[in-house]
Amino acid sequence: MQLGINLALLERNLGVVREKIAEAALRTGRPPEQVTLIPISKTQPVEAIRAIYQLGCQQVGENRVEEALPKMAQLSDLQGLQWHMVGHIQSRKAKDVAPNFDWVHSVDRMKIAQRLDRFAGEARKRLPILLECNVSGEEAKSGWPLASRENWPEFLQTLRLIASMPNLEVRGLMTMAPWVPEESVLRTTFRRLRALRDFLQDNAHVALPELSMGMTDDYVYAVEEGATMVRIGRAIFGPRGSI
């Protein structure tokens, strides 16, 4: 046990999340193994990440490059630990994201894709990415504006261009649902992302197996609507400072 970390609480929280994911997957006829749990460790100490690693989590998500890099250095001994960038990427930070992260969920504009491709090439790696899509129509939200199906055909060329970049591997789509309690609104958002994925696969002939959607307050709905990756922070680590 790491000093200051409530390992029992982490283990209990993690068990609850895993059980809910499994139940949601099974309700829709999918094996639970098809859903990857990504604990989001922003603001959490490295001791908390070590603890969840010991509990079987080999994925971890961070929102900010400047917070993640020191953690990576301190946890470099954890074999197999994969780092996911899930936050908005500033153009100047792409040079740090590409060589250091194993996955990027938040590719939300062409310039970022181009810079990640460049710096992944310099790092001699092929970087798995997800395209962040705004399918809820919220004006303040990041992502390609694809709430309207009328915009989907035009996006096909964008997808083809990114998929042709030599150092990027487009693996799927990501979205964030609105911060509302209505189940119908949340499910509509997740269904729209899945429908967008299906449209793009059928028309661009690019395989997009991953759907990153669902967070602490809505991940059960997301799994039931087809999520293959869920990004969970508070349900695992509790409110900031509680672990």
pTM: 0.95
> How would CATH label the architecture of 7-87+101-237?
Alpha-Beta Barrel (3.20)
Closest CA to 105 of 141, 87, 122, 130: 130
Question: Mean pLDDT for the chain?
Answer: 95
What does the pLDDT average to over 47-54?
A: 96
Residue 82 region by backbone torsions, left for phi larger than 0, else alpha for psi between -120 and 50, else beta: beta
What does the pLDDT average to over 204-226?
A: 97
The pLDDT tens digits for 55-68 are 999 999 999 999 99
The pLDDT tens digits for 58-102 are 999 999 999 999 999 999 999 999 999 999 999 999 999 999 999
Domain ranges of the chain: 7-87+101-237
